[in-house]
């Protein structure tokens, strides 16, 4: 299987740096493009079609700077790291309530070959209390999933 496009969900946490570093290195080795993906769950509004980061920054879309919250700086930092390594990058923001479903839908709609996620590694008790987005994506996604700890 040849990996051409990788979906990499990021959330701005400390895990984001690990996801950026690992996925950029992997994409460079494979000659693949990265789709950086942020889900904004702060709104209870119905799901809208995902917006590209360039559309967010350069037009009056439903995702203004305030609505996008920390997504734009996260995607900009990710893009800068990818471009510095010579890796094609596209940033996408989606506003939905279910993160796992958004990740799966984005991977399919963006025609990705691989999903790369970083797990918190909270252990069984933490997973019981908080759930696991990675586990939910793994259960529902038909694409290969690379999980970084």
Residue 72's CATH number: 3.40.50.620
| Nearby residues of 141 by Cβ (< 8 Å), 6 or more positions away | 103, 104, 107, 115
CB 40 within 8 A of CB 94: yes
Domain that holds residue 37: 5-148
Q: Per residue of the chain (149 residues), what is the pLDDT tens digit?
A: 689 999 999 988 888 898 999 999 999 999 999 999 998 876 544 444 455 554 443 323 334 444 456 688 999 999 999 999 999 999 999 888 788 999 999 999 999 999 999 876 555 544 443 457 888 998 899 999 998 87
Report the DSSP beta bridge partners of residue 92: 37, 52
- Identify the three-state secondary structure at position 18: helix
CB 8 within 8 A of CB 19: yes
The pTM of the full predicted model, rounded to 2 decimals, is 0.78
Give the model's pLDDT for residue 121: 58
- The phi, psi pair for 112, rounded to 5°, reads -80, 155
- The phi, psi pair for 115, rounded to 5°, reads -115, 130
Q: Shortest CA distance to 7 belongs to which of 99, 85, 123?
A: 99
Indicate the number of domains in the chain.
Answer: 1
């Amino acid at each position: 299987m040849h990996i051409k496009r990788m979906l990499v969900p990021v959330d701005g946490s400390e895990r984001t740096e690990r996801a950026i570093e690992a996925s950029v290195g992997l994409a460079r080795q494979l000659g693949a493009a990265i789709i950086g993906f942020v889900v904004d769950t702060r709104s209870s509004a119905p799901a809208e079609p995902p917006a590209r980061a360039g559309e967010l920054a350069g037009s009056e879309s439903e995702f203004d700077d305030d609505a996008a919250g920390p997504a734009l700086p996260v995607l900009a930092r990710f893009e800068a790291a990818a471009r510095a390594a010579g890796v094609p990058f596209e940033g996408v923001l989606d506003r939905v309530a279910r993160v796992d479903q958004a990740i799966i839908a984005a991977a399919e709609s963006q025609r990705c070959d691989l999903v790369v996620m970083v797990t918190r590694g909270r252990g069984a008790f933490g997973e019981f209390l908080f759930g696991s987005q990675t586990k939910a994506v793994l259960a529902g996604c038909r694409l290969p999933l690379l999980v970084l700890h």
